[in-house]
Chain A
Amino acid sequence: MPIRDRVATLLAELPDSPQYPTQGATVFVDLERREIRQAFTPLPVVRALLGGRGANMFYLYRLLDESLEPLHPDVPLIFGSGVLTGLAPSAARGNATSWSPESGVLMDCNAGDYFPSFMKMSGIDHLVLFGRSPGWTLLHIHDGAIAFRDAAPYVGLDNIDLRERVEADFDGRWTRDLAMAAIARAGEQLVLTSAIMAGPKACYARGGPGAKLGSLGVKAIVLQGQTRDFETVYPYKAYNRTIAQKLLDTAVVKHALKVRGTPFLYKPSRILGAMGTKNNQETTWTDRLDAEHIDPYRPGMAGCFRCPVNCRPLNELGPDAPDRYGRGDGPEYVTLGKFGPNIGVDRIESVIRLNNICNDLGFDTASTGSAIAWAMELYQRGIVTTRETGGLELVWGDAALVERLLFMTSRREGFGNVIADGTRAVERGHYPPEALRYRMAVKGLMQSDPHDARILKAFALGLAVSTRGMDHLRNRVTLEINARINDDPAFKARLYGGPVSGEPNSYVDKERAVRACENTFGVGDAVGMCRFTTKLFNSPSLPGYEEFAAQIANVTGLRFEPSDLDEVGLNIMGVERLINHRLGVGRKDDTLPERWFEEPIQVGAYKGEKIDRREFDAMLSRFYALSRLNEEGVPEVAWRRQLVAMLERKPQASP
């Protein structure tokens, strides 16, 4: 069924007015015909999936035609803001969802900064884009009114120039009355590792969203209008103060996030011997990249919309920097790892500069850094030679070469065209099949972060079962790296709803911890909360179900018990797995890179550690059973019927 018929069918079922006072519209934008229609997410869907990532899955499930290809204009790209986005402290996030052109499975990525909150304040909860615009388009949403603007003057601009031009042309100011989601040249060139930039650094990163937006002919979505408060069912600002205080009282926020941002994570992984180095051939690297070495180059911190944490480090390399890449935002831990140890770079100044270039060119630093590391290992092994690279010598640690390669990738020039195809380089004939042995990816997506998970089995399981591919932000049991908690079995059991082994490298009951995190993080995304300030990711004392339920009730009038929200988290995973099942994903895909099964860690207290296939398989089966999934990793029959009834708007059931 063509997309317009699918949309028409769906619209006929959807309410035409808000279901609760702060609910924004779902706006369907036909880019080819330049038609706009709107409706609202039905209450049973809100009850089952909430908003943001959750309701995005409802729309993708209903509108996806899996007989097409991910970049086909009839495959929609859906932006969604959470139920509390823009309303609660640190809830500044939103998701972008589609069929990933990079991985071939579900694409669902999350960004903060100001765009998701401004979307909510514009009266839009979900923005569904489909059809290919006849020419490059800029969607301008001014106080909720949508206009199609000719984007031709902006084509070819990367992030820095684009933001300067748009700010001037629209007579607005970032963070005050202007927010934008846009692509740089990488997105225009359909680079599979390209991001949708949502700020100077913040981006919808994972799965090739930049290529997807580019394939629809959209250069940018600009939101303009004054920030405003919301009319809610009950007063909510007093409880916001409670949430903010809870955030600021948390030790990891006080001592690490507010001070240095996420780069503080580098040292623990390095000391553990779990820092992915040279495409995970090694697992430790220099202490010269520890966060304190960024201190001289950090003039301050910035943050997302109304977030009291301000964890985003700014950078400035000094007056001698030769060009615009001497200052910027970041790096975050992921970029530090991917453009430091993973490609053999040991100078912090080089990492900062590469970070700033990536942010300008519009790259997902995780996928791009991993694709470069993969190429470097292939070069090291002689699988790729200068004949294929056009003379480039892909040696570890050559930051100047990587810089050149980034620009080539953004334009798909020379060997940059190979990096631009990311994990699909074998499928597209750039590399021989044996190269797959060294690809650090799951479900076609390169690993999101640099932590090598051969030691921590809960991390490993999480990366294997993540619905969007190899990504830590879906379910990471980060508290496994906390001796105090590992040594307190009663507390740990309370956190995860049952016993979980305190031994980091044990397989025992780790599925329980992954399940709890996946549910909690799914709900966090559905309300718009930042992962770093969601319970279980960085601390057991950050806001979780109780706080979410209380503020959802204040804002919407909808009552959820914490146990209801846990079901919502499970439902989100269930729908994502139903979508993936339609895309051919099954148990065979819930696995890990070959290297982690075959090659033991060579350093540190856990020297010799790797993933045991039999133990892993048993843990995966236990995870499925706990998650109401069958042996193929798909929701079991009775639950599947309930989910499908909810998704297809049949009256008889809700999960």
Chain B
Amino acid sequence: MITVRLPPSLAIDGRDTLDVADDVRSIAALIDAIDRRVPGFRALFDEGGCNFAVNEELVLHRVRDRALRPGDTVEIVPAIAGGAARLARVSPD
């Protein structure tokens, strides 16, 4: 299980923690899992609106590939610089 800490703007029914029991082995898979529970989360990520901290370490590069293991705690941190509303449209990937 992965424990996800959510910022206030993404809290679910007032809860700021989300337990993801799916077989999640990377941040990419975690994004899918969170998006199923928090609609719009993928869009927020695609806009560059958030970063991920895994076990209190901020991931700033190759974030989708970052491996996760059961027991990890992942915190969603509002990006210092976020809001690339057109990012997905101009990006080849």
Contacts and interface: CB of A to CB of B under 8 A. Distances in A.
A292 B57 contact: no
B45 A264 contact: no
Nearest to B49: A251
B84 interface: yes
A507 B9 CA distance: 35
A541 B49 contact: no
A488 interface: yes
Given A271-B57, A540-B48, A250 B8 contact: no
B77 interface: yes
Interface in A211-268: 249-256, 259, 264-265, 267-268
A604 interface: yes
A166 B79 CA distance: 41
Contact of B79 (A271, A482, A490, A605): A482
A637 to B, nearest CB: 37
B80 A484 contact: no
Nearest to B64: A487
B58 A272 contact: yes
Contacts of B9: 254-255, 259
Contacts of B56: 271
B7 interface: yes
B8 A292 contact: yes
Nearest to A495: B84
A476 to B, nearest CB: 9
Contacts of B85: 249-251, 541
B80 A481 contact: yes
B60 A491 contact: no
Contact of A272 (B60, B83, B91): B60
Given A480-B60, A481-B51, A487-B62, A538 B8 contact: no
A426 interface: no
Main secondary structure of the interface of B (DSSP, over half): loop
A487 B48 CA distance: 10
A478 B83 contact: no
Contacts of A268: 51, 58, 77-80
Contacts of B64: 487
Nearest to B84: A540
Contacts of A479: 48, 81
A654 interface: no
Contact of A484 (B77, B78, B86, B87): B87
A101 interface: no
Residue in A271, A479, A503 with the greatest tally of chain B CB atoms within 10 Å: A271
Contacts of A478: 80-81
B67 interface: no
B59 A259 contact: no
Given A255-B7, A268-B51, A487-B64, A481 B83 contact: no
B93 interface: yes
Given A484-B48, A541-B83, A264 B78 contact: yes
A259 B8 contact: yes
B80 A265 contact: yes
A644 interface: no
Contacts of B71: none
Main secondary structure of the interface of A (DSSP, over half): helix
B87 A485 contact: yes
B34 interface: no
A504 interface: yes
A504 B90 CA distance: 22
Interface string A554-581: 0000000000000000000000000000
A215 B48 CA distance: 47
B61 A487 contact: yes
Residue in A483, A485, A540, A605 with the greatest tally of chain B CB atoms within 10 Å: A483
Contacts of A271: 53, 56-58, 75, 77
Residue in A268, A272, A484 with the greatest tally of chain B CB atoms within 10 Å: A484
Nearest to A486: B61
B51 A483 contact: yes
B61 A502 contact: yes
Contact of A538 (B52, B57, B83): B83
A604 B56 CA distance: 8
Interface string B40-74: 00001111110111001111111110000000000
A491 B89 CA distance: 10
A254 B75 CA distance: 19
Interface in A253-294: 253-256, 259, 264-265, 267-268, 271-272, 292
A488 B82 contact: no
A483 B87 contact: no
A494 interface: yes
A149 to B, nearest CB: 44
Given A483-B60, A486-B61, 17 more contacts: A251-B44, A251-B85, A252-B80, A265-B80, A271-B58, A272-B58, A479-B81, A483-B51, A484-B48, A484-B63, A485-B48, A487-B63, A487-B64, A488-B91, A490-B91, A502-B61, A605-B59
23 contacts: A249-B83, A250-B82, A250-B85, A252-B78, A255-B7, A255-B9, A255-B44, A479-B48, A483-B51, A484-B63, A485-B81, A486-B60, A486-B63, A490-B91, A491-B91, A494-B90, A502-B61, A502-B62, A504-B60, A539-B84, A540-B81, A540-B86, A604-B58
Query: When A and B form their complex, which 5 residue pairs have the shortest distance between CB atoms, in order from nearest?
Result: A251-B49, A250-B83, A483-B63, A539-B83, A251-B83
Interface of B: 7-9, 44-49, 51-53, 56-64, 75, 77-87, 90-93
Interface of A: 249-256, 259, 264-265, 267-268, 271-272, 292, 478-488, 490-491, 494, 502-504, 537-542, 604-605
